[in-house]
């Protein structure tokens, strides 16, 4: 059964919703902030919109030692979306030697973990290919 | 009649050769390869990817969908709506109709018919039909080299690149395949089922279709059934040349409901305007047959052939691990 916590995060897990500052156009992701981190406007009513699933790697690490339940080696990266927002995410469908800063990726809906008998889904990032 | 306005295919990245699986079990030979889903992929995630491709192919936004149907025999749930989960991810409106079809691989044509009826009656302007399966056969079984993963999706609308000219069903009630929840896929007495469960129903459905639809010649044939040899037998009995079969089974294996849509995409890719496609879908209890006329050959980028031919080969232990068939100490 969906728990209150799962319900609260369901929309942000299903869609890549960014929040744009009406004053300076800075994009917050995934939280809707009440103050703009770039221009400092506060309080500010940020406008939600669905971002394109494309971005590039700004920084990454490869995890080799993790608890049970994780596939290793697991590349984790900071992604900068085309809209400018940044997020941390898993890198998938990729050879480790392909990874580099500036590597273009696209978001893909995947299984994240299981909680309360439900499979939880959200976005991971794979190399941007033409398909 | 209703039209197909878009079609999308998703095949997971990994492939394993049938010979690699056979060699692990000390068996000689093995033809072709199959697609293998990653540990974090299931019927829903693959279906979502295929749906995105179909929406892009049709040039339709998610919020234009009036109906979302999801066909799968491998959702893993007894109760859980994959169609409802897809709605939010694809950006469809909360008012969209949702329906889940399962319990038989024939579910893909059941979902297709429901969508066609809605579009034909003008109750629905755009219907999305998703077909997705991740079939896990028992290690060492004869089904293991063929049972695979993949997804396909269709957008049905009033206008499109292909017209659905008719459908026909033949239901005998012969139970060729039954599986308890959680059991491995692929428990079947192949030859007996092929003759009585499949061939008799498939031929009856095609005959009924030919009685209701004006057919000059079948230019392409598509079949969703667990064994490629079934297709050769059916085409032979129907006097359709074997080279008219459009199949990706040798490249990606058999992916249940998804196979129908993936093979249909292959047929569209090689079809010319005005040609007719015979598409047959099998499931325990009977068959559905669909007649499709191509109005204009759709473009695919990358090509469906390239999607099926691509992929990264893996070894058997890797396959067991990402298919969650190999577990370590707790």
**Could you tell me the domains of chain A?**
52-131 (2.40.50)
CB nearest B44 (choices: A68, A121, A124):
A121
Looking at the complex, does the CB of residue B299 fall below 8 Å from at least one CB of chain A?
no
Determine the pLDDT at residue B67: 97
> Which residues are registered as beta bridge partners of B299?
none
pLDDT of residue B259: 97
Which site among A10, A14, A122 would you substitute to test the B interface, given the most B Cβ atoms closer than 10 Å to its Cβ?
A: A14
pLDDT of residue B330: 44
Integer angstrom CA distances of residue B114 from B36, B68, B117, B119, B131: 30, 10, 5, 9, 14
Q: Which CATH number fits domain B163-294: 3.40.50.720, 3.40.47.10, 2.40.128.110, 3.30.1370.10?
A: 3.40.47.10
**Contacting residues of B for A130, CB less than 8 Å apart:** 301-302
Does B40 contact A14 at a Cβ distance shorter than 8 Å?
Answer: no
Residues of B in contact with A124 (CB under 8 A): 40
DSSP codes of every residue in B16-82: EEHHHHHHHTT------EEEE--TT--HHHHHHHHHHHHHHHHT--GGG-SEEEEE-S----SS--H
> Where does B3-161+300-322 sit in CATH, by number?
3.40.47.10
Same fold, B3-161+300-322 and B163-294: yes
Residue of A nearest to B88 (CA): A14
Chain A interface disruption, residue of B12, B40, B90, most A CBs within 10 A: B40
Size of interface A-B (CB pairs under 8 A): 45
**Are B49 and A130 a contacting pair at CB < 8 A?**
no
Q: Do B307 and A131 touch (CB under 8 A)?
A: yes
How confident is chain B (330 residues) per 10-residue block, as mean pLDDT? 94 97 94 96 97 97 97 90 95 95 94 95 96 95 94 97 96 77 74 82 94 90 90 92 95 97 98 96 92 96 95 96 77
Tell me the ipTM for this assembly.
Answer: 0.88
3-state SS, B218-263, equals CCEEEEECCCHHHHHHHHHHCCCCHHHECCCHHHHCECCHHHHHHH
Q: Which of A14, A112, A130 sits opposite B89 (nearest CB)?
A: A14
Q: Of A25, A43, A23, A24, nearest to A33 (Cα)?
A: A43
Q: Look at A50 and B91 and tell me if their CB atoms are within 8 Å.
A: yes
Interface contact B29, partner A, CB < 8 A: no
A111, closest residue in chain B (CA to CA): B40
Chain A (31-70) residues lying within 8 Å, Cβ to Cβ, of chain B = 50, 68
Residue A36 distance to chain B (closest CA, Å)? 27
Task: Tell me the pLDDT tens digit for each residue of B269-324.
Answer: 999 999 999 999 998 888 999 999 999 999 999 999 999 999 999 999 999 999 98
* Per-position b or e across B169-193, b if 16+ CB within 10 A of its CB: bbeeebebbeeeeeebbbebebeeb
- CA-closest candidate to residue B188, choices B169, B174, B201: B174
Domain boundaries along the sequence of chain B: 3-161+300-322, 163-294
Per-residue pLDDT 10s for chain A (131 aa) are 778 877 888 888 889 999 999 999 999 999 899 999 999 998 999 999 999 999 999 999 999 998 877 788 999 999 999 999 999 999 999 989 999 999 999 999 999 988 888 889 999 999 997 54
The 10s digit of each residue's pLDDT in A46-78 is 999 999 999 999 999 999 998 877 788 999 999
């Amino acid at each position: 059964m969906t728990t209150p916590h799962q319900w609260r995060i369901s929309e942000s897990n299903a869609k890549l919703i960014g929040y744009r500052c009406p004053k300076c156009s800075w994009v917050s992701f995934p939280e809707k902030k009440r103050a703009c981190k770039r221009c400092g406007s506060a309080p500010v009513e940020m406008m939600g919109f669905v971002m394109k699933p494309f971005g590039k790697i700004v920084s990454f690490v490869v995890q080799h030692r993790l608890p049970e339940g994780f596939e290793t080696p697991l590349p984790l990266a900071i992604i900068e979306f085309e809209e400018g927002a940044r997020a941390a995410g898993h890198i998938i469908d990729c050879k480790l030697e392909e990874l580099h800063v500036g590597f273009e990726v696209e978001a893909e809906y995947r299984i994240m973990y299981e909680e309360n008998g439900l499979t939880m889904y959200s976005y991971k990032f794979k190399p941007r290919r033409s398909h | 009649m209703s039209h197909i306005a878009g079609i999308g295919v998703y095949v997971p990245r990994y492939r394993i050769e049938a010979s690699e699986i056979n060699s692990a079990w000390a068996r000689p030979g093995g033809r072709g390869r199959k697609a293998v889903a990653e540990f974090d992929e299931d019927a829903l995630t693959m279906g979502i990817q295929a749906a995105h491709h179909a929406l892009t192919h049709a040039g339709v936004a998610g919020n234009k969908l009036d109906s979302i149907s999801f066909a799968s025999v491998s959702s893993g749930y007894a109760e859980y709506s994959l169609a409802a989960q897809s709605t939010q991810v694809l950006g469809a409106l909360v008012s969209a109709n949702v329906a889940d079809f399962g319990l038989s691989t024939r579910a893909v044509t059941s979902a297709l018919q429901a969508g066609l009826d809605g579009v034909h009656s003008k109750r629905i302007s755009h219907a999305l039909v998703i077909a997705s399966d991740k079939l896990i056969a028992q290690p060492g079984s004869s089904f293991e080299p063929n049972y695979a993963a993949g997804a396909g999706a269709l957008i049905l609308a009033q206008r499109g690149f292909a017209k659905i000219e008719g459908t026909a069903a033949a239901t005998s009630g012969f139970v060729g395949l039954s599986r308890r929840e959680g059991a491995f896929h692929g428990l079947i007495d192949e030859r007996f089922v092929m003759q009585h469960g499949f061939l008799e129903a498939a031929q009856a459905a095609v005959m009924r279709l030919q009685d209701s639809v004006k057919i000059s010649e079948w230019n392409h044939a598509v079949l969703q059934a667990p064994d490629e040899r079934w297709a050769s037998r059916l085409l032979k009995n129907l006097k359709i040349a074997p080279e008219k079969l459009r199949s990706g089974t040798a490249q990606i294996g058999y992916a249940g409901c998804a196979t129908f849509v993936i093979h249909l995409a292959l047929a569209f890719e090689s079809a010319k305007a005005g040609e007719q496609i015979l598409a047959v879908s099998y499931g325990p209890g009977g068959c559905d047959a669909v007649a499709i006329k191509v109005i204009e050959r759709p473009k695919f980028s990358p090509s469906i052939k390239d999607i099926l031919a691509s992929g990264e080969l893996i070894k058997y232990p890797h396959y067991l691990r990402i298919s969650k068939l190999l577990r370590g100490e707790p």
